Structure 1
Amino acid sequence: MKRQTAMALAAVFAMSVAGTALAAPANPFVDVPAKHWAYDSINKLAQAGVISGYGDGTYKGDRTLTRYEVATIVAKAMANSDKADAASKREIEALKAEFGTELNNLGVRVDNLEKNASKVKFTGEIRERYEWVDNAATSGTTKGDKTDIRTRVRISMTAPIDENVTFKGRFHSESEAGSATDSEAKIDQAYITGKVGGLGYSFGRQPILLGQKLLSNNTQYNDGLSLSAGKDIKVTAFAFKKEDKYGKKDTAGDAVKENLNFAAGNIDFKVNKNLNITASYIADKDEIYYKSAAAGLKYTGLKDFTVTGEYGENDSYTANKNNGDAAQAWVGRIKYKGATSKVHSYGLYVSYRNAETGFDPVNWNDFTDMATWNGGIKEMDNIKGVDYGFEYALFKNGIMRIQYNDMDDEKTGNIDKSNMFAELIYTF
């Protein structure tokens, strides 16, 4: 009995309390002194709803638990087994077998409980964003500012299919304030990920993230397959298709949608706990728009600072048709701290980017989550300048971010491409 009881309490505590910041409530049991060695653990278990004591407000920790009382604790552990690690899950399986009779008598049908428990986890994000762009971008003469307000909702889902297979999906909806036509609502991710031996795979509509994101930070509408292997040196290969709506134009000058087939690769080398070096490559099938390679790094060895940088070249037909040379680009960023779900946490960052004409010819990459700004400004094509950003957690899971981009065209430096955004992102 003592062994099974200890196992039950350990499993429940691991699932319900470990890794979770629970503020200690007022003493829920009059017979548990504040100086008792188990005071904090008992309070946390009570706050998590795992134990409730007796009706007279006592805990009676010196008396022996009955099998039914232990079974009640096991039932609560079973109901929260999705929070357990592998070791705790094994303990729960053993406890289910040991206390099966008591669980059934308590009305806890083991098989039905497992069958009816939801295995799909949902998380979400709501973003309200204000954008401002200096309308000098296309002509070189100021015509007036442009502003835009956009609302974005994303619902992500994760569902285990088998021990080593997981489904992931995301619903994406974004709309412009006051517009009935400028909006979209689609499933932009739906893929299966898993492992076979030492090889990881991902198949379906999935995000494509390469290096330090100079070549690709694209999370939407990429349909294909990726394979990966390695730990400290992780190698990933991609083959996928993506719809392009910016490249080709018809005789009237309007954009024509076409499907582009891509191949990509990424190497992430973890030199030590503070330094990662990356190398990446991406090209469309005929190398019309992209034949790009990049090398970058991420360093976290300075207290509270993160330093990232990356250099890349695009040697495709579109990129070098004007002067015969590959289009070059490089970026660097220093960030101090960073806003998290913790209230009043904050971050400051400054970055520089410089991209020649043709580096991202069809606005494919969302380098800073906004591939094309209102007014036709491309984030990583014929542009250079400094970004200044500030982020702050206004409330739990609610982060405000403000970024001003002091930009000019890279080719002449005479066209003002300054822009900024302010946004509030709430995650749940």
Structure 2
Amino acid sequence: MKRQTAMALAAVFAMSVAGTALAAPANPFSDVPAKHWSYDSVNKLAQAGVISGYGDGTYKGDKTLTRYEMATIVAKAMANADKADAETKKTIEALKAEYGTELSNLGVRVDNLEKNASKVKFTGEIRERYEYAKDSTDGDKTDMRTRVRISMTAPIADNVTFKGRLHSESEWGNADSGNSVVLDQAYITGKLAGLTYSFGRQPILLGQKLLVNNSQNNDGLVVSGGKDIRVTAGAFKYSNVSGTASVTKTEANYVMGNVAFKLSSNLNISASYLADDNDGKATNGTANLYDSTAFGLKYTGLKNFTLTGEYGQNDSDVAKDKNSGDKSKAWASRIQYLGANPSKVKSYGLYVSYRKAEPGFDQKNWNDFSDMATWNGGFKEMDDIKGLDYGFEYTLFKNGIMRIQYNDMESYKGDTNKRNMFAELVYTF
């Protein structure tokens, strides 16, 4: 079985399953001298637990392996398959098929023999949130909500994957308030002719989030390509889009574009575009809400810090109406120190953001730059607003992050107080 042995050892080495320092115990096997050509390789395999030799402390390198001994090596390679590259995974799959009987007798699960095994992977998120708004248009008020999201991923074919998400949210003590379960994501993503595509109900993200950062109810097609310069274009429809009392739009059609430039390992810049109703033209007598562009950057060259910033403007009919015929302009920036890691207890992050937006810039409230929800007082994150927000996040327990954010905001002209805050606990599973 020398040929199969070579294949198995190649798979193990390619995956670097040892994951340990190169230093190894001296002479783990008495019949492998330190000057032997295979000494380092045998030591690494022994450290990784892939081989254990015989009970008398020998390796017996000249002895032909039995099929069961080979199956043991293959099983240990299978256990580390997630570290392998594509070519090595193919080798492991071939070995799994070859030694399927022996692996089954050893009690090792062989996925390609389990024809009825489910391929759908489920993950989820539970969020408990408390919100407080000071002197909102409805007066001081609080709101407490529970949100549950269940995400699913399933491979369909090579380079084709289905993704979906169920969403439900309700007020504390009032389970009937908006507690319907909706499928807010359901789309197929894949690669074709060097391009990446996603088709169906999907999240939309543009630039540094100034124009759009929305994960729900966007039905359409998005295509992207490129590496250091990545170009994205798409068209989608969003239902129940509302503007002011005088401008209401349902099932609005949108076109979008994004160009992301990777200038270095630490600096990325972006240019984004979003428009509804044929690039600023009125449809059926209803004025458009968006004819927007934005330019932004993200910098990670300072240790433990992330800097983001973006400038945008909206040249739509409604935006001009709200600004005496001029475009509506907006700015946003953030500096973040570290960040809470859900898998690392006691990890934390701090951030400060500045936002300033003229009336009419983002009436739909597409933007989620500061992780803030739509407030009951009618606040929009990037529309007729300016000020600072301060945030702190901390991993209380594994997969459980607490976040507190205070928003010291007022209207663009400073004549309306828009201060508010939220505290939340997000648990992922």
TM range (shorter): 0.7 to 0.9
Contact preservation (8 Å) 2:244, 2:363: no
Contact preservation (8 Å) 2:189, 2:198: yes
The partner residue of 1:242 within 226, 235, 238 is 238
Contact preservation (8 Å) 2:17, 2:80: no
How far apart are 1:224 and its partner, in Å? Answer: 0.2
Report the AA paired with residue 363 of structure 2: P
- For 1:228-307, what aligned pairs fall within 5 Å after superposition? 228-247=224-243, 258-286=250-278, 287=280, 288-307=288-307
The partner residue of 2:172 within 177, 185, 191 is 177
Structure 2 CA distance for aligned equivalents of residues 130 and 40 of structure 1: 52
Corresponding residue SS for 1:277: strand
Q: Deviations over 1:7-55 (max 9, x none)?
A: 4366468779678x9xxxxxxxxx9xxxx9888976765xxxx89999x
Structure 2 CA distance for aligned equivalents of residues 59 and 409 of structure 1: 80
Q: Percent identity?
A: 69
Structure 1 CA distance for aligned equivalents of residues 163 and 189 of structure 2: 8
Report the AA paired with residue 421 of structure 1: F
Would the alpha carbon gap of residues 299 and 349 (structure 1) be closer, same or farther in structure 2, given more than 3 Å must change?
A: same
Corresponding residue SS for 2:242: coil
Would the alpha carbon gap of residues 294 and 41 (structure 1) be closer, same or farther in structure 2, given more than 3 Å must change?
A: same
TM-score by structure 2 length? Answer: 0.82
Report the AA paired with residue 274 of structure 2: I
Report the AA paired with residue 137 of structure 2: T
How far apart are 1:173 and its partner, in Å? Answer: 1.6
Report the equivalent of 1:24.
Answer: none
Report the AA paired with residue 409 of structure 2: M
Number of residue pairs the alignment of both structures matches: 398
The partner residue of 2:159 within 150, 158, 164 is 164
Contact preservation (8 Å) 1:248, 1:257: no
Report the equivalent of 2:361.
Answer: 359
Structure 1 CA distance for aligned equivalents of residues 137 and 153 of structure 2: 43
Which has the higher mean CA deviation after the structures are superposed, 398-407 or 359-368? Answer: 359-368
Corresponding residue SS for 2:182: strand
Which has the higher mean CA deviation after the structures are superposed, 82-91 or 277-286? Answer: 82-91
Structure 1 CA distance for aligned equivalents of residues 112 and 153 of structure 2: 22
Would the alpha carbon gap of residues 105 and 346 (structure 1) be closer, same or farther in structure 2, given more than 3 Å must change?
A: closer
Would the alpha carbon gap of residues 51 and 382 (structure 1) be closer, same or farther in structure 2, given more than 3 Å must change?
A: farther
Structure 2 CA distance for aligned equivalents of residues 368 and 184 of structure 1: 26
Which has the higher mean CA deviation after the structures are superposed, 400-409 or 96-105? Answer: 96-105
Contact preservation (8 Å) 1:248, 1:258: no
Report the equivalent of 1:337.
Answer: 338
How far apart are 1:188 and its partner, in Å? Answer: 0.9
Report the equivalent of 1:28.
Answer: none
Contact preservation (8 Å) 1:398, 1:427: yes
Which has the higher mean CA deviation after the structures are superposed, 68-77 or 208-217? Answer: 68-77
Contact preservation (8 Å) 2:348, 2:393: yes
- For 1:99-118, what aligned pairs fall within 5 Å after superposition? 99=99, 102-103=102-103, 113-118=113-118
Corresponding residue SS for 1:372: coil
RMSD of aligned alpha carbons: 3.3
Note the residue ranges of structure 2 that are not aligned, 5 or more in a row.
21-29, 31-38, 281-287
Report the equivalent of 2:421.
Answer: 420
Structure 2 CA distance for aligned equivalents of residues 104 and 392 of structure 1: 44
Corresponding residue SS for 1:215: coil
Would the alpha carbon gap of residues 184 and 384 (structure 1) be closer, same or farther in structure 2, given more than 3 Å must change?
A: farther
